[in-house]
Structure 1
Amino acid sequence: MKKIIVACGGAVATSTVAANRVRELCEKNGIAVDVQQCRISELAGRAEQADLLVTTAKVSRDYGVPVVHGIAFISGINLAATEAKILEILGN
């Protein structure tokens, strides 16, 4: 099972939308995932437990795991490319 952390500024609105879309994407592609949400400020303490970080805010820090900018789940712009990148990282 892959662990994905979805982060935004407040860990409520945009991360909830993005987390649900990531779950749907993985389910559709047969990938077992544990998707959790948090604030960007909490990533440093949680990133090492994850296989992938999806953020709805830009981050420049290297957390030692792949980071995908997931604003496409909110805006719809470049959605297919974002989904393809997530699937590539998760090995599907």
Structure 2
Amino acid sequence: MASKRILVICGTGVATSTVVATKIKDFCASKGLDATISQGKVTDTLRGDLAADFIVATTQVPDSVGIPVIAGLPFLTGMGLDKVYAEIEKQFD
């Protein structure tokens, strides 16, 4: 299974993305998934030179990003979290 680069983004790239990144890191470790996780803010996605295989976002991301985007809001609400974890794991297939 190949290593993946995951970009976790929120509005400011600080508090919310830190919480989500920590949960994703723990999940990947528990599943034996090799991931490099970085954090950013939504405006980072507008540059077009994203060094990531996919994004987990707690905010809207422009359709023009060109890489898969997984909705990260369930990390904050707890609802639908199993589905999000399954989507993340699927990115490693």
* TM score, norm. by length of structure 1: 0.90
Question: What stretches of structure 1 of length at least 5 have no aligned partner?
Answer: none
Residues 25-34 or 44-53, more deviating: 44-53
Percent same amino acid at aligned positions? 32
Q: Aligned partner of 1:79: which letter?
A: L
Structure-2 residue corresponding to 1:62: 64
Structure 2 gaps of 5+ residues are: none
How far 1:32 sits from its partner (Å)? 1.0
RMSD between aligned residues: 1.4
Matched residue, 2:46:
44
Correspondence 1:30-41 to 2 at 5 A:
30-41=32-43
**4+ aligned runs moved over 2 Å, structure 1:** 44-48
Cα separation, 1, equivalents of 2:48 and 2:26: 23
Show CA shifts across 1:21-74 (max 9, x none): 111111111111110000000123365321110001122423111100101111
Q: Which of residues 79, 87, 90 is equivalent to 2:89?
A: 87
Say how many residue pairs are matched: 91
| TM-score normalised by length of structure 2 | 0.89
Residue of structure 2 equivalent to 1:24: 26
